[in-house]
Structure formats: C-alpha cells, structure tokens
Amino acid sequence: MTSLDQYRLLGRSGLRISPLALGTMTFGTEWGWGADADEARRIFDLYVDRGGNLIDTSVNYTNGASERLVGQFARDKRDRLVLATKFTMARDPGNPNSGGNHRLNMVRSVEQSLRQLETDRIDLLYLHAWDATTQPDEVMRGLDDLVRTGKVLYVGICNTPAWRIAQLQTIADLRGWSPFVALQIEYNLVERTVEHELIPLAASLGLGVLPWSPLGGGVLTGKYSRADLRDSQERAVGTTRASIIASSGLLNERSLDAAETVRAVAWELGATSSQVAIAWTLANPAITAPVIGARTLEQAEDNFGAVAISLSPEQMARLDQATAPDPIFPGRFLRRPMVEQLIFGGATVARRG
C-alpha cells in the first residue's frame, strides 16, 4: 500500500474506503484552535486529489462549522465521497434531549447533519458514545429505521464498551436490522488497552476499525518533553489543545519513552515521527483506516505520507515492546501454563483468537 487510492472494504460491508480517513474536527475556528475555511479547503482538496474518499465529521464539531465546510467542499464531487458523521453529543446546551442516543436526538441530529452537509444522505452514521441511559433495542431499531428511509446507508459505533457493542450487534442480527460495519476507537502506541477486547470483538463481528488520535494527541510526534510533564500538572482543563492533552492522561513518562522509540525508527527510515506512528497502526491487520486530522496543509501532507512507510519486523517489534499493554483477566488467567494444560490436556491446539 503506497497511496490513498488503494481501497479497503469497510468491515462486513461492500463499501470501499481509503486506508486513511480525513478527520475534520479541526475544520473551523469556533473552538479556538482549528483551521480556517481556506486552510481547511486546501487540506480537503489535497486528500481528495490523492484519491482519498472517506470524510469523517460530527454534527457538533466546531459547533456545526465542520459539517458546513465539508458540505461546501464536497458539493461538486458528492458521489465520489463517503461522508461519515456522528450523533450523540448535545446540539443545544441546556436542552437534555439535544444529546444522547435516544430516537429523538438521533433523528433530529440526522436532520441537522443533512442540512449542514447539504446532502440527501449520510453514507456512514456513527453513534458517537454510549450514553448509559437509552435501551439497546431503541438504538438499533432507530438506526435501522433511518437506513430504511434512505437517509442513512451504513451505521457504526464509537467509544462504547465491548460487551455493549456485542449486545447491540447481536440484537441487530437476530432481528434483521442494520448491523454496525465500523468501530471508531482511540488507538495508538500509547493507548493500546483496546487490544484486549474491542479490537478482537471488531474482527469477530465484522466491524472495520477506524482509530482516532493515531498520534496520541500529538505526543507521538515528539512535540512534548519532560518539561511538559511538570506543566501538565498545573494546567487546568480547558478548550486549548495544550489543556486537552494535559487532561487526557496520555502525557506521561511512558508515552514520552514511546515517542523516543518512534523518533529513533523515523530517523532510520528517513521519515517523520508522525508517519511512523500512523504506519504502526496501519500495519495491524485489524485496522481499516486511521482517522487523520490536521490543522495545516503541512501537517496533512506529512500525515498522508504514512501510507508509503514500510516498517521492518524488527522495527515493529521495538515499537510493540515499547508500549505493550499488561494482560488483564481473564486473558491473563487463561494463558497460564497450568490452565492451558487443564483445558487442552497437554495437546497443541491452533487458536482462533
């Protein structure tokens, strides 16, 4: 794989998407740190001109500016693109029903997205995060109804426990409703706990995995130092990029060590740290397309170059070892030699996962 136009199937669907998705949470300056309309247009055009076709946004990103900009940019090439957006987050602060996974917010959010995107359909609609209040059958029936109307073509899910996704997917399959075909989760060299359950779940149930924040909030680019660790202890939670990374939990000694390993591998390849970090996610066969966000054309150009990076087995091993997650129960228990002896009776048996 060396370019954005070498397409992959999205999960159990027949939809063909690029190996990198263009994240547009950075489109618009309404949150104080995004790209203005002109720079966003340059980033969008660079991605599409290189064959990229999956545009990722949300009804609430930059207070709706992200979807409005995407709608303008996609207007003359709509059928070449796969537009993905999300619902869940509140559209009207103070109104409790303007957020959540219930049917009212689901439908109203889709209607707002269709207007902001200036389109007659959403190609991929994600549930943005589990709200812990809406019943599973209400969610899956509501999504299926949207698919049956043609307003939505495929559905996906983000930021939800593995057991809940399994329940939702099983309900859809048993009742003949539209199943999830995509899973969007945080995944990078410093956030790998999803390897325990969410990634195996996706492989088993037919969900393509689209990791967000493949650069670990910027930590893996090498932009932070030990001095930032001290600053992060004092920085209050806020809306700036610096305060967001400080409050994310990703900025710590272990992640900075990982960034050093990434930098060393990048030097060996004549690449950038960003490209190596993204290439590491792409090398995982469970990953369909990392979601790449950029605030400048230069950042976008750099990130898109990750598809041409090939990591050697030795380099992959070094990166893996730098951040390997500790095992958890029950996997930790089931891998004990005594337990394997009891399960298999001493025989060697090929595993399915």
Tens digits of residue pLDDT in 29-49: 999 999 999 999 999 999 999
Residue-by-residue DSSP string for 106-152: HHHHHHHHHHHHT-S-EEEEEE-S--SSS-HHHHHHHHHHHHHHTSE
User: d(Cα 75, Cα 69) in Å, to the nearest integer?
Assistant: 10
Residues 273 and 263 sit within 8 Å (Cβ to Cβ): yes
Whole-angstrom CA distances from 71 to 29, 76, 86, 195, 295 are: 17, 10, 15, 35, 18
Half-sphere exposure of 47 (CA within 13 A, CB side): 35
The confidence score (pLDDT) of residue 197 equals: 97
Residue 61 falls in the annotated catalytic set: yes
The confidence score (pLDDT) of residue 163 equals: 98
pLDDT in tens, 304-337: 999 999 999 999 999 999 999 999 999 999 999 9
Whole-angstrom CA distances from 200 to 163, 286, 321 are: 12, 8, 20
The confidence score (pLDDT) of residue 251 equals: 83
* Low-confidence spans in the chain with pLDDT less than 50: none
Secondary structure element (H or E) that encloses residue 229, with its range: helix 226-234
The confidence score (pLDDT) of residue 349 equals: 86
Catalytic residue among 47, 61, 187, 224: 61
- 220-236 b/e with 16+ CB inside 10 Å = b? bbbebeeebeeebeebe
